[in-house]
């Protein structure tokens, strides 16, 4: 692909996907030139259902690829790698048939029965869930299974190299372990032929010539080939082996894996290759500030986000501040959506230099939508509430009252936004609404607002209506603190401390309808 953005602009930009792309081309120059390809990897541990952080890693890596596409025609490949040969260490909280998994602990995930009874194994089930989701987004990736690569022999040559460097690898890993773990640690984990479990067991001897390890299994001296899936590697060694065998040029990972990355770097250097370019991102937190986890099922799921908002808004969330910890739960969705809409609006007046700093350029790979944004998601949620709307048709009626000549087919983003707003209000907001009961003075002020609105008409501009609201507040005890006046309206009418710009909302919703709404809230709370 020929660059569509001027090279001088790319050279100067500090948009993080371009920063990473430039780093890859510099650090991996000789390797890329030799194989005439750039390989980027994302990792997934299928010990639990795929969560939103998994998507984030693929989305962010794709953004780096999009940046690379602006800089070079060299082919790129994203490898989505599944560690599905890992032993199941614990039963996730958010799955059925827990007893089934409990009875298969420590077996490779591709040997654990599927608790959902859909696939041959739990590992395969989670792999398919991941692939199906990534396919929804149109991501271009090559899926690779740890089980497949081990058992097919594709890792054999590198596994032999690991065995040849056994002592050097032990010298790297052992100092980082506690005294008891030092006694039992081995880079190689044999698969027990009887139980099919992954054995974390000390190795007594190594046989480099025959590619075997000799280990003590409860007093019984056994030997096992390291090839063709009869053994797998411990995590940090496995990661380095994978970088080596797949010739990876770039991989991003969570901040919690920095120490692992340092050790894996030492190991791949020992094996004779340079470490890939890396990018450590901050972790996502749930509402309580705890790390989101596949096994806990906390935070917001992939399916939940897509139920309430567009894939593009999720991609935007992933783009923004990747090196800053961010809370990820249902209630942040409206803010994320509104930021997405706002950035689309800003893009319309941006030149080439400005637009590649705009996150939506990276979300849409340069093809930013030109659709006019009619209103914010937050305001649409307020409209759903106040109109008791349960369908797009009703919401469109309100919109056409405000913009009579509007053609629905020209607003696909907004049309979909209506569906999201109805679902989000009914399933997330509605049950948590707490409306303020106004006291005598507050009721008086709100009735004064109703009276003034009675002097208005639907042809008045939003700013004219906004001015009248200000005046009512000043005349009814809020002269020195108009913020409290608007807060009162929001808490009584919308059950929130903040809300839409009232002039615009009233203009859109209708004068008569707004008067009735305020009166209803005064009388019913």
Predicted confidence band of residue 2 (pLDDT cuts 50, 70, 90): very low
Average confidence (pLDDT) over 303-312: 91
Q: Does residue 279 sit within a domain? A: yes
Please tell me whether residues 71 and 142 are part of one structural domain: yes
Q: Does residue 371 sit within a domain? A: no
Q: Does residue 362 sit within a domain? A: no
Please tell me whether residues 106 and 33 are part of one structural domain: yes
10 Å Cβ neighbour count for 128? Answer: 16
Please tell me whether residues 461 and 510 are part of one structural domain: yes
Reply yes or no on whether the pLDDT at 1 is more than 50: no
Among the ranges given (92-96, 251-255, 277-281, 416-420), the one the predictor scored with the smallest mean pLDDT: 92-96
Residue 394's pLDDT is what?
Answer: 86
Alpha helices per DSSP H over 194-296: 235-246, 258-271
Q: Does residue 267 sit within a domain? A: yes
Residue 293's pLDDT is what?
Answer: 64
pLDDT, tens digit, 9 for 90 and up, residues 34-88: 999 999 999 998 887 677 778 889 999 999 999 999 999 999 999 999 999 999 9
Name the more confident of 269 and 432: 269
How far is residue 98 from each of residues 46, 301, 339, measured CA to CA in Å? 16, 20, 40
Please tell me whether residues 417 and 490 are part of one structural domain: no
Average confidence (pLDDT) over 256-277: 97
Residue 298's pLDDT is what?
Answer: 65
Q: Does residue 143 sit within a domain? A: yes
Reply yes or no on whether the pLDDT at 30 is more than 60: yes
Predicted confidence band of residue 3 (pLDDT cuts 50, 70, 90): very low
Find out whether 13 and 223 touch, Cβ atoms under 8 Å: no
Please tell me whether residues 407 and 520 are part of one structural domain: no
Name the more confident of 329 and 143: 143
Please tell me whether residues 17 and 151 are part of one structural domain: yes
Pairing of strands 203-207, 212-217: antiparallel
Average confidence (pLDDT) over 125-153: 92
Find out whether 430 and 488 touch, Cβ atoms under 8 Å: no
Please tell me whether residues 50 and 103 are part of one structural domain: yes
Q: Of 402, 432, 462, which one is at a domain's C-terminal end?
A: 432
Please tell me whether residues 410 and 506 are part of one structural domain: no
Q: Which domain holds residue 90?
A: 7-170+234-285
CATH number of the domain to which 275 belongs:
3.40.50.620
Please tell me whether residues 420 and 494 are part of one structural domain: no
Give SS3 for 1.
Answer: coil
pLDDT, tens digit, 9 for 90 and up, residues 430-464: 887 888 999 999 999 999 999 999 998 888 898 99
Residue 101's pLDDT is what?
Answer: 94
Which residues make Cβ contacts (< 8 Å) with residue 231, sequence separation at least 6?
159, 188, 189, 190, 191, 213, 224, 225
Average confidence (pLDDT) over 316-324: 95
Predicted confidence band of residue 525 (pLDDT cuts 50, 70, 90): low
What domain count does the chain have? 3
CATH number of the domain to which 491 belongs:
1.10.10
Q: Of 415, 432, 449, which one is at a domain's C-terminal end?
A: 432
Which residues make Cβ contacts (< 8 Å) with residue 187, sequence separation at least 6?
162, 166, 169, 170, 173, 233, 234, 237
Q: Does residue 215 sit within a domain? A: no
Predicted confidence band of residue 399 (pLDDT cuts 50, 70, 90): confident
pLDDT, tens digit, 9 for 90 and up, residues 480-497: 889 999 999 999 998 888
Among the ranges given (2-6, 302-306, 515-519), the one the predictor scored with the smallest mean pLDDT: 2-6
Reply yes or no on whether the pLDDT at 429 is more than 90: no
């Amino acid at each position: 692909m020929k660059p569509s953005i001027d090279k001088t602009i790319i050279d100067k930009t500090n948009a993080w996907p371009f920063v990473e792309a430039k780093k890859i081309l510099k650090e991996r120059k000789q390797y890329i030139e030799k194989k005439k390809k750039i390989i980027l990897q994302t990792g997934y541990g299928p010990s639990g259902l795929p969560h939103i952080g998994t998507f984030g890693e693929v989305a962010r890596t794709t953004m780096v690829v999009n940046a690379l596409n602006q800089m070079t025609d060299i082919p790129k490949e994203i490898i989505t790698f599944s560690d599905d040969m890992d032993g199941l260490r614990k039963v996730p909280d958010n799955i059925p048939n827990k007893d089934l998994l409990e009875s298969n602990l420590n077996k490779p995930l591709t040997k654990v029965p599927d608790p959902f009874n859909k696939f041959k194994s739990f590992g395969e089930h989670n792999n398919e869930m991941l692939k199906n989701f990534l396919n929804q987004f149109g991501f271009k990736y090559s899926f690779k299974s740890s089980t497949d690569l081990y058992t097919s022999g594709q890792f054999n040559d590198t596994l032999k190299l690991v065995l040849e460097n056994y002592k050097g690898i032990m010298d790297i890993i052992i100092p980082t372990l506690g005294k008891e773990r030092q006694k039992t640690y081995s880079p190689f984990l044999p698969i027990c032929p009887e139980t099919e479990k992954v054995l974390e067991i000390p190795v007594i001897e190594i046989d480099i010539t025959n590619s075997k390890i000799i280990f003590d299994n409860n007093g019984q001296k056994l030997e096992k080939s390291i090839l063709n899936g009869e053994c797998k590697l411990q995590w940090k060694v496995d990661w380095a082996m994978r970088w080596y065998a797949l010739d990876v040029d770039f991989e991003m990972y969570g901040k919690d894996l920095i120490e692992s990355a340092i050790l894996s770097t030492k190991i791949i250097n020992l094996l004779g290759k340079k470490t890939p370019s890396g990018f450590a991102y901050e972790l996502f937190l749930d509402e309580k500030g705890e790390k989101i986890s596949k096994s806990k099922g906390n935070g917001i799921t992939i399916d939940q986000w897509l139920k309430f908002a567009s894939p593009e808004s999720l991609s935007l969330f992933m783009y923004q501040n990747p090196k800053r910890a961010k809370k990820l739960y249902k209630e942040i969705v409206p803010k994320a959506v509104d930021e997405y809409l706002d950035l689309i609006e800003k893009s319309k007046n941006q030149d080439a230099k400005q637009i590649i700093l705009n996150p939506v350029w990276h979300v849409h790979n340069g093809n930013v939508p030109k659709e006019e944004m009619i209103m914010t998601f937050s305001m649409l949620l307020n409209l759903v509430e106040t109109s008791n709307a349960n369908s797009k048709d009703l919401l469109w009626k309100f919109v056409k009252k405000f913009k009579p000549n509007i053609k629905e087919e020209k607003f696909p983003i907004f049309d979909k936004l209506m569906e999201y707003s109805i679902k989000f209000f009914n399933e997330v907001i509605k049950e948590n609404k707490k409306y303020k009961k106004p006291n005598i003075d507050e009721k008086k002020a709100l009735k004064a607002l109703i009276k003034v609105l009675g002097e208005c008409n639907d042809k008045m501009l939003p700013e004219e209506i906004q001015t009248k609201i200000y005046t009512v507040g000043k005349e009814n005890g809020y002269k020195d603190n108009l913020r409290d006046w608007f807060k009162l309206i929001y808490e009584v009418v919308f059950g929130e401390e903040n809300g839409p710009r009232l002039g615009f909302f009233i203009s859109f919703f209708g004068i008569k309808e707004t008067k009735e709404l305020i009166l209803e809230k005064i009388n019913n709370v």
